Amino acid sequence: MSEPVNVYLVCGGRWHDFDFARLELLKLLGEHDQIRTRVAPDYSDIDALEASDFLITYTCDLAGITPDQEKALQAYVQGGRRWLALHGSNSVMEFLADGRVATPRSHGTLMRTLGSQFIAHPPIAPYAVENVNPDHPLVTGIERFDVEDELYLCEYHGEVEGLLAARFTGKAVGFVEDEWPDDEPRWVMYLHPEGQGEVLYLTLGHCRGRYDMRPMIDIYPRTERGSWESPTYLELLRRSLSWCLDGVATP
Is residue 89 assigned to a domain? yes
Q: What is the CATH number of the domain that holds 20?
A: 3.40.50.880
Alpha carbon distances (Å) from 10 to 59, 75, 136: 7, 17, 27
Decide if 43 is inside a domain. Answer: yes
Asked whether residue 102 is assigned to any structural domain, the reply reads yes
The parent domain of residue 147 ranges over 5-246
Across 69-84, average pLDDT: 98
Return the pLDDT at 250: 52
Residue-level pLDDT at 251: 40
pLDDT 10s digits, 139-160: 999 999 999 999 999 999 999 9
Instruction: Give Cα separations from 86 to 29, 139, 227, 233 (angstroms).
Output: 14, 16, 12, 12
- For residue 251, tell me if it sits in a domain: no
- Which residue type is seen at 158? G
How far, in Å, CA of 136 to CA of 161, rounded? 10
Give whole-number Cα distances, 32 to 4, 151, 231, 250, in Å. 10, 30, 19, 16
- Which of 246, 248, 24 has the alpha carbon at shortest distance from 137? 246
Number of domains in the chain: 1
Residue 85 phi/psi, 5° resolution?
-105, 130
Beta-ladder partners of 82? 54, 198
